[in-house]
Copies of this chain bind each other. A is one copy, B any other.
Amino acid sequence: MSQFENVTVVKKANIYYEGKVTSRTVIFADGTKKTLGVMLPGEYEFGTDLKEVMEIQAGELKVLLPGATDWLHINGAGEFTVPANSKFKLDIKTATDYCCSYIAE
């Protein structure tokens, strides 16, 4: 799906790490939420409340998922899932365009 229709978009950006990670929140008719974001090169750590499915639309990055010892490498497109209430690390190599879905369990 190349666009989301009949959605609500929060006007103000979500800004992290001095703007090196930013996103916009999209709310769907069923109340579910996604963020569309961009991460610039750098190392970051984020925590989850809900389970998150991160779809990488473009970019090169490495991800260290909770409990993992090996970094997952993504180049161009990919997806990974982060459990609820956990932390994960990102090592972003090139500007990365992502779509994050928040999944209530």
Residues of A within 8 A of B (CB): 1-13, 15, 18-20, 22, 24, 26-27, 36, 38, 40, 57-58, 94-95, 97, 99
Contact = CB atoms under 8 A, between A and B. Distances in A.
A61 to B, nearest CB: 12
Given A2-B10, A6-B6, A7-B8, 14 more contacts: A2-B11, A2-B12, A3-B10, A3-B11, A5-B8, A7-B7, A7-B9, A9-B9, A9-B24, A13-B57, A15-B38, A15-B97, A19-B38, A20-B40
A36 B7 contact: no
B24 A22 contact: no
A19 B98 CA distance: 13
Contacts of A2: 10-12
B11 A36 contact: yes
Contacts of A8: 3-7
Contacts of A20: 40
* Residue among A5, A10, A19, A24 with max Cβ neighbours from chain B (10 Å): A19
A36 to B, nearest CB: 5
